[in-house]
Amino acid sequence: MIKANAKKSRVIFHIDMNCFYASVEMAYNPKLKGKPLAIAGNPEERKGIIVTSSYEARSKGVKTTMNIWQAKKLCPELIVMRPNFDRYREASREIFKILSEITPYVQPVSIDEGYMDVTSSNMDGTPIELAINLQQRILNELDIPCSIGIAPNKFLAKMASDMKKPLGITVLRKRELSKTLWPLKVEEMYGVGEKTAEKLNTIDIYTIGDLAKKDPYQLKQLLGINGERLKNRANGIDTRPVDPDAIYEFKSIGSSQTMPEDTTDLIVIQRLLKQLAENVERRMKRKDAAGKSIQIMIRYHDRNTITRSKKLQSFIEEKEDIYRLADELFQKHWSGEPVRLLGISVQDVEEKRNIGQQLDLFTYEKVASKENLYSTIETLTEKYGKNPFKKWSPGDKKDDIQPRTSFQKDFLDDYKR
């Protein structure tokens, strides 16, 4: 039995589904198994982007974010399919139901990965035996392969799950870090992106071991507080709990999309900005939230990416406001170069129930204009019972406009319902 013990190290699992979208399609249609398969945002267009691919396709050089035409050149027999988000969401729900049967301490972080704290799990056997049984159960019941990392904290568990795919089970112990983790290139460390790796290289940090041994003051000078955090992680220090309620915490809600082709056409760009604003508004309605900052992301044809943001005096939630502010930021900061991808996010987000409404002249007029409507609704409610004009609420499951190539995270508690 795995028992909780104050003196005993935590036992954290990181569960990572292998080639999730492709694996779900293969489980749905076994004829696809063993074939090079790619899921792409828009297969009909030559410049559609690969979202994920099977290992058979990856062995031919097919990679995520690659254009379809590039992937087809590397692998002429590649099978390309559109994403089926309902199917992936249902598979994710079933996976997390299985995890939650083992321990209540399950923290989903995306549609296809999550953490488990099994320190005090009541399951029989060692952590490795538990991982083997869990991996086999998901494979037998759902026909979906996964890799599992086992470690005393979330960071090491995440690193461990990446070390062996597909169907890997890897244990990462603190006492073995000098042999297992430190020899890896620093850009392979979770939390270190390309730009951060380049900065670390300037102070002679090329491996995770170099980072672990570096002077913390020098790291803080280079990367701020993140430098100290990364050094701690490189030394296997991570005190974050596995928090099942973390899925309800959100500071930003956004949407992004790659263009069918790089463009400088302002009409095309503004049309996409309007669509993104609608996506953000819809997701904010799911959360019944509003935000007080807006940010845009512009990725150019050469993959150079910039983000620009603006703090606001009052909360926003409606697509008209989101679009107007995003368009202003775009017009101000666009270099005129061809645009490859656009993103909009509303930040400093709060649930409306926690917001004391701040009325400026404009919001006052907007609220005042609806007073008669609210009064009528209240009257009808008193007469007929529950509000007859049902407002779409976060509890509603139907999301009738599907995202393109990425998922919002506001469905991650579906497995609890």
> Whose CA is closest to 227, among 239, 238, 240, 214?
214
Residue 13 host element (H or E): strand 12-17
**Is 222 within 8 Å of 203 (Cβ atoms)?**
yes
The count of domains in the chain is 4
CB of 239 closer than 8 Å to CB of 232: no
The CATH number for 347's domain is 3.30.1490.100
- 115 and 147 inside one domain: yes
What tokens were used for 380? Answer: 């009808």
pTM score of the predicted model: 0.70
Pair 346, 365 in one domain: no
Residue 417 has pLDDT above 90, yes or no: no
- The top-scoring range by mean pLDDT among 136-150, 310-324, 368-382, 403-417 is 136-150
Tokens representing 78 are 């590649």
In a domain, 331, yes or no: yes
Domain region containing 372: 360-388
Task: State whether 65 and 157 are in the same domain.
Answer: yes
**Average of pLDDT values for 134-158?**
97
- pLDDT at 410 (0 to 100): 57
Does residue 83 form part of some domain?
Answer: yes
Q: Which amino acid is located at 334 in the chain? A: W
pLDDT at 303 over 60: yes
pLDDT band at 216 (very low <50, low <70, confident <90, very high): very high
Quick check: is 406 in a domain? no
Q: 186 with 208: CB under 8 angstroms? A: yes
With 90 as the cut, is the pLDDT of residue 270 above it?
Answer: yes
Q: Does one domain contain both 56 and 118?
A: yes
- In this prediction, residues 77-81 reach a mean pLDDT of 95
User: pLDDT tens for residues 383-410?
Assistant: 444 444 444 443 444 343 333 444 455 5
The annotation places the binding site for Mg(2+) at: 16, 112
| CATH code, domain with 187 | 1.10.150.20
Predicted pLDDT of residue 47? 60
For residues 273 and 216, membership in a common domain is answered with no
In CATH, what number is assigned to the domain containing residue 19? 3.30.70.270
Same-domain pairing of 230 and 299: no
* CB-CB contact of 343 with 322 (8 Å): no
| High-pLDDT (> 90) share of the chain, % | 67
Write out the binding residues: 16, 112
20 closest CA partner among 123, 105, 95: 95
pLDDT at 65: 83
Q: Give the mean model confidence (pLDDT) for residues 407-417.
A: 65
Write out the E strands in 54-105.
79-81
CA angle at residue 218 from 213 to 219, to 5 degrees?
Answer: 70
Instruction: Share the mean pLDDT of the chain.
Output: 85
Residue 1 covered by a domain: no
The verdict on residue 397 lying in a domain is no
In-domain check, residue 198: yes
Dump the DSSP string for 254-281. Answer: EEEEEEEEEE--HHHHHHHHHHHHHHHH
Q: Which residue type does 374 have?
A: Y
Query: Are the C-beta atoms of residues 28 and 163 closer than 8 Å to each other?
Result: no
By mean pLDDT, which of 5-9, 75-79, 103-107, 277-281 is the weakest? 5-9
Distance CA 406, CA 173 (A): 33
Please indicate, yes or no, whether residues 196 and 303 belong to a single structural domain of this protein: no
Active site residue ranges: 113
**What are the residues facing 107 on neighbouring strands?**
115
pLDDT, tens digit, 9 for 90 and up, residues 22-74:
999 999 999 999 999 999 876 666 567 898 999 999 999 999 888 899 999 99
**Local structure of residue 243 (DSSP, 8 states):** -
Q: Are residues 15 and 164 in the same domain?
A: yes
64/164 same-domain check: yes
Instruction: Check whether residue 214 and residue 67 sit in a common domain.
Output: no
| Residue 383 domain flag | yes
Phi, psi (deg, nearest 5) at residue 197 = -60, -40
Looking at the DSSP assignment, which residues form a beta bridge with residue 318?
A: none
- What are the b/e assignments for 132-170, b being 16+ CB within 10 Å? eebbeebeeebebbbbbbbbbbbbbbbbbbebeeeebbb
Q: Are residues 324 and 375 in the same domain?
A: no
Q: What is the mean pLDDT of residues 340-351?
A: 91
Distance CA 147, CA 13 (A): 10
* Residue pointed to by tokens 């599992």: 148
Tell me which amino acid residue 346 is: V
| Cβ count within 10 A of residue 113 | 19
| Mean predicted confidence (pLDDT) in 279-290 | 88
Q: Does residue 14 sit within a domain?
A: yes
Q: In terms of domains, do 58 and 160 share one? A: yes
pLDDT at 367 over 70: no
- Please give the angle made by the CA atoms of 36, 39 and 45, to the nearest 5 degrees: 110
